[in-house]
Amino acid sequence: MSLRVGLISAAHVHTPSYAHNFSANPRAEISGLWDDDVNRGTEFADKRGIPFFSDLQELLDQSDAVAISSENTKHLAHIEVAANAGKHIICEKPVVVRLEDFDKVREAVSQNKVKFMTAFPCRFSPAYQSLKQRVNSGELGEIKAINATNRGQCPGMWFIEPALSGGGAMIDHVVHVADLLRDLLGEEPSHVEGQTGSNMYGGKDWDDTAMVSLDYPSGIFATLDSSWSRPTSFRTWGDVTLKVVGTNGVLHANLFDQSISHFKNGRTKSLADQSYGSDLDGAMMGAFVNACLDGADIPVTLEDGLAAALVSLRAYESIKSRVA
């Protein structure tokens, strides 16, 4: 049995990955694509040889599940219509960008008893999984602080239209690491403080530089740089890093360089846990397919996605409160 996956919108830069990975999965197939931008949708579908649907309901009728990669502010409407049709959902981050939408999403998913997965591929990184195992083993002693990055390149398009994106670099990139920190530490931040600027592209109405500080009830604090500042010549396409400081040493994990280094007692040990070809998107979508077909638990839930989105919103709110 194959899982028929419908693609809702070609708006996001990650939509090609959904098309590729679900097509490549032996347990899945692409049923088609719908987009409210007909020109964008037909161009995407024709290029990949998949059906284009001008009516969303027709796509849902041909699908068992959907991948939502529309503009951020449209996620709620697309989640509701898919859930009401009884379709399982994997949705791009952030799940929603307004606090008032949190309960609406929860209600749509819970009432219709569909599976919902937040698209956080970093959870599937071998470097992150190794770091988490070593932290949980107690090897690092008591965790004191974490320094993290998720710097990117400005994607342009609707990402720099706050009415569609919900913000700028902060809403775009904080969520991935906020989710990793929550998964690693097992606690929600007690205090979030943000700082943004429009410094890279000349004073626009969207933030391209974004820093966040997080305090946790246990006493751990973390800092995160989520700016759109990664050079075009950067050695890897992503820049998610975690430096975990403990009483027995420091762990450095680079999720896209596929490596993890441990510094202690004056000795450096570099560990390459996997080859450079690890496919995080493929692993994420494979987990979604298996959960839908086999009844397994979703590894990255709706609540995970909402908790991460809340960190970004709290960071923006902290900036507004200082200005006020």
pLDDT, tens digit (0-9, with 9 covering 90-100), for 191-211: 999 999 998 887 788 999 999
Domain-embedded: residue 171: yes
| Rg (the chain; Cα; Å) | 20
Reply yes or no on whether the pLDDT at 130 is more than 80.
yes
In this prediction, residue 69 has a pLDDT band, given cuts at 50, 70 and 90, of: very high
Reply yes or no on whether the pLDDT at 259 is more than 70.
no
Tokens 């219509």: give the residue.
81
Domain-embedded: residue 142: yes
In this prediction, residue 271 has a pLDDT band, given cuts at 50, 70 and 90, of: very low
Domain-embedded: residue 305: no
Q: What's the confidence (pLDDT) of residue 43?
A: 98
Cα dist. 113→119, 288, 292, 297, 308 in Å?
19, 15, 12, 13, 22
Instruction: Examine the domain organization and report whether 177 and 316 are in the same domain.
Output: yes
Instruction: Examine the domain organization and report whether 9 and 35 are in the same domain.
Output: yes
Reply yes or no on whether the pLDDT at 276 is more than 60.
no
Q: What's the confidence (pLDDT) of residue 149?
A: 96
CATH of the domain at 102: 3.40.50.720
Closest CA to 225 of 270, 267, 194, 180: 194
Provide mean pLDDT across the span 58-79: 98
- Domain of 159 in residue numbering reads as 122-278+311-323
Instruction: Examine the domain organization and report whether 49 and 81 are in the same domain.
Output: yes
Instruction: Examine the domain organization and report whether 186 and 82 are in the same domain.
Output: no
Instruction: Examine the domain organization and report whether 139 and 239 are in the same domain.
Output: yes
Instruction: Examine the domain organization and report whether 152 and 247 are in the same domain.
Output: yes
Task: Show which of 65, 84, 114 is a domain's final residue.
Answer: 114
pTM of whole model > 0.75?
A: yes
Instruction: Examine the domain organization and report whether 193 and 318 are in the same domain.
Output: yes
Q: What's the confidence (pLDDT) of residue 18?
A: 97
Domain-embedded: residue 261: yes
Provide mean pLDDT across the span 166-183: 96
Q: What's the confidence (pLDDT) of residue 233?
A: 74
Domain-embedded: residue 219: yes
CATH of the domain at 224: 3.30.360.10
Q: What's the confidence (pLDDT) of residue 275?
A: 39
Q: What's the confidence (pLDDT) of residue 261?
A: 64
Domain-embedded: residue 291: no
In this prediction, residue 181 has a pLDDT band, given cuts at 50, 70 and 90, of: very high
Q: Read off the pLDDT of residues 17-52 as tens digits, 9 standing for 90 and up.
A: 999 999 999 999 999 999 999 999 999 999 999 999
Domain-embedded: residue 288: no
Reply yes or no on whether the pLDDT at 5 is more than 50.
yes
Instruction: Examine the domain organization and report whether 145 and 12 are in the same domain.
Output: no
Instruction: Examine the domain organization and report whether 134 and 91 are in the same domain.
Output: no
Reply yes or no on whether the pLDDT at 154 is more than 80.
yes
34-40 long-range CB contacts below 8 Å, 24 or more apart? 34/6, 34/7, 34/8, 34/9, 34/58, 34/59, 35/8, 35/9, 35/10, 35/11, 36/9, 36/70, 36/74, 37/9, 37/10, 37/11, 40/10, 40/11
Instruction: Examine the domain organization and report whether 202 and 130 are in the same domain.
Output: yes
Give the total number of structural domains in the chain: 2
Task: Show which of 82, 114, 146 is a domain's final residue.
Answer: 114
Task: Show which of 68, 83, 114 is a domain's final residue.
Answer: 114
Instruction: Examine the domain organization and report whether 37 and 60 are in the same domain.
Output: yes
Reply yes or no on whether the pLDDT at 116 is more than 80.
yes
Domain-embedded: residue 253: yes
Instruction: Examine the domain organization and report whether 88 and 218 are in the same domain.
Output: no
